[in-house]
Structure 1
């Protein structure tokens, strides 16, 4: 009997995973043709930035709309067979403002558009995307971007790999297995992360809607999985910036190093949201302390705190980060290194970044994980 229940649970998990993996190609209902996939963007009162990709995908199985399992299997196959469109011209519309951008050699497009009309004071806004060239009236979609409301007092830029999620979950199949098959026991998310990040989002007053922007070294293929993982674990919504394609230009033979991508991404966010202050969260294993130290030097007075998850057992690495922490302190910012989110939350509460209620939630989560 237990084996039968476990099998049913795995079958349900498989179906959920298939649906998430197949989601990016579902906008054409199996007809095939050109398709625009938009990723969450972010904006200010006068500017918006977002990314997306244009594909040509095969069409088959359009008559199977009622058979959702076979539909998902076919859509997953169509996703594997789709091809990026180079040089496509994408028209972007937000209220009365329009811009046209072109896809690169990987089919990606980047929108950095001035807004003629200021967004309303809500967190998420819709933007319409369509194709000018090649022409396909069906290839339209709606994207979304975030703007901080007037209540926001600071922002958070957080790494994902080894900071929010455990090592190895950037592997799509491993992530899907842990997330859907193993459920609450999967250890996909570090203990206390949802509660700490919710505390950041709510701020010390509990209702500030501070923006959270996430960066990942994984491929864009895991984007939809990350979105679902954040939803399942109640981590606050925010744009997810994938660093592998960040800053790649037509004609370049090799991408820039990931640390340069991260610098570019963080600088773009800080420039867009000037003079808002930020908290930077990362891990000790992939140059985050060095990158964040460079940001601190380049944007004096803009960084409230640097939180680094300790994932290294190397004493030399710990000593190097200690030197960076000393340097950060001289620049008026504390760099906190710990493998326990309670330590980070206690520092954040002490410095007025999160509420005491949020701190209590982080402690409760850690206590429950230890007891389990």
Structure 2
């Protein structure tokens, strides 16, 4: 039990280590995304307390102190954030919790020889030195011919969302290298990323049920498992407060995000990937009904075998059959890859790599 507590403290304190206990004002942006015409990113401006000299640099006491500092971060409202992306500049104002959303029309084109672009953020506060930070914004190249939108929980990484305690343990306690990626996931997403030509560089966007606080851990997990990192990990801002003690429904959040992505890249067809455990099939079928000519395939990883759940998914498959979009309830990554290959979405080489990774 002591080892469990120590690991929990260490993981929860990790995002605080970068300031080395100095505290102060921070502007923390998340990775952005966009098109050739507009860019989006979000972040937060906050103040966090400094650690005194009596707190050791390592150990449980330091982890506990960092967790307390994290809990009591003070978001700064009504702060102006200046964002520069190439020659494009805009300003936004933080909300009452210190969060900001940037929607930047790209009046000055960005270089076309790169998909990732450097954005600088600048905050000026009274009587202190300016606070600066930077992030990366992903703009799909012209050769991208498909948009891939994927769930994370129980689709890419096993979390056991049906078992809430197990899910919390995997999300917040397990280190990134200890979390289990489904066999063949990395190869499948790599194949989808490069397409049948091997050069497509398709955007892959991820949606999670978790809060922004696990952002860094998920990025580390993706990199360790060589899963293509999307332009942003779309995590739900839970927005829990005394006035609103419950987070927004995940299915509403996911539906809105997918609609936004489809509207932003209205020339691209799309593939949706999720799992059978929660609301993915229902949300994705709704999207297919509204965009019948845009959705090339829906892949649902089977994570449970309740007869009533499978009957419900079968009914959804029949509902959208007239659109020409296949809803595939797949046993594993290989089943998804085999269907994707028959549809011309991935190359034969990519299919073979998924086969090898799924059954080493």
TM range (shorter): 0.7 to 0.9
More displaced 10-residue stretch of structure 1: 345-354 or 133-142: 133-142
1:56 is displaced (CA, Å) by: 0.6
Alignment correspondent of 2:236: 243
Whether the 8 Å contact between 1:36 and 1:55 is mirrored in structure 2 is: yes
RMSD: 3.2
Asked if the contact 1:18/1:72 (under 8 Å) is kept, the reply is no
Q: Aligned match of 1:41 in 32, 49, 56?
A: 32
Pick the aligned partner of 2:351 from 347, 351, 359.
359
1:101 aligns with 2:92: yes
Does residue 1:213 correspond to 2:202, yes or no?
A: no
Q: Partner residue of 2:175? A: 179
3-state SS in 2 of match to 1:140: strand
Is the Cα–Cα contact under 8 Å of residues 156 and 279 in structure 1 kept in the other structure? yes
CA distance in 1, matches of 2:308, 2:117: 46
- Listed one character per residue, the Cα deviations across residues 217-267 of structure 1 (whole Å, up to 9, x for unaligned) are 111111100000000000101110012449x99x87764321111111111
Which secondary structure does the structure 2 equivalent of 1:215 belong to? strand
Q: Tell me the SS of whatever aligns to 1:324.
A: helix
Work out which of the residue numbers 178, 190, 194 in structure 1 matches 2:182.
190
Q: 2:150 aligns with which of 150, 158, 168?
A: 158
With over 3 angstroms needed to count, the CA separation of the structure-2 counterparts of 1:24 and 1:362, relative to structure 1, is farther
| Aligned CA distance change for structure 1 residues 61 and 358 (closer, same or farther; 3 Å) | farther
CA contact under 8 A between 1:244 and 1:258: conserved in structure 2? no
Q: Is 1:244–1:261's contact at 8 Å kept on the other side of the alignment?
A: no
How far off its partner does 1:135 sit?
6.8
1:261 to 234, 253, 260: 253
Cα distance per residue 1:172-227 (max 9 Å; x no partner):
653465435xx4xx451111111100111111111211100000011111110000
State the distance in 1 between where 2:261 and 2:151 align: 14
> Are 1:85 and 2:76 matched, yes or no?
yes
Give 3-state SS (helix, strand or coil) of 2:43's partner: strand
> CA contact under 8 A between 1:89 and 1:134: conserved in structure 2?
no
Shift of 1:285: 1.6
Instruction: Using the TM superposition, give the Cα deviation of residue 336 of structure 1 relative to its aligned residue in structure 2, in angstroms.
Output: 0.4
The unaligned stretches of length 5 or more in structure 1 are 1-9
1:334 aligned to 2:326? yes
Alpha-carbon deviation of 1:60?
2.9
Q: CA deviation at 1:104?
A: 2.8
TM-score (norm 2): 0.86
Q: How does 1:1-372 map to 2 (within 5 A)?
A: 18=10, 22-23=14-15, 26=18, 28-60=19-51, 73=63, 78-121=69-112, 122-132=114-124, 136-168=128-160, 171=167, 173-175=169-171, 177-179=173-175, 183=177, 186=178, 188-238=180-230, 239-245=232-238, 255-368=247-360
5+ residue gaps, structure 2: none
Spell out, residue by residue over 1:109-148, the C-alpha distance to the aligned partner (whole angstroms, 9 max, x if none): 1111111212222111111112245674342100111111
The answer to whether the 8 A contact 2:195-2:346 is kept is: yes
2:45 partner SS: strand
What is the number of equivalent residue pairs in this alignment?
Answer: 349
Cα distance in 1 between the residues matched to 2:325 and 2:70 = 45
Equivalents in 2 of 1:272, 1:278: separation in Å? 12
Change (3 A) 1:292 1:62: farther
Task: Verify the 8 A CA contact 1:204 1:354 in the aligned structure 2.
Answer: yes
Q: 1:33 to 1:234 in 2, by over 3 A?
A: same
Distance change (3 Å), C-alpha of 1:172 and 1:79: farther
| Cα distance in structure 1, aligned partners of 2:223 and 2:52 | 29
* Matched residue SS, 1:22: helix
Q: CA deviation at 1:97?
A: 2.1
CA distance in 1, matches of 2:14, 2:352: 39
* Displacement after TM superposition at 1:273 (Å): 1.1
After TM superposition, the score normalised by the length of structure 1 is 0.83
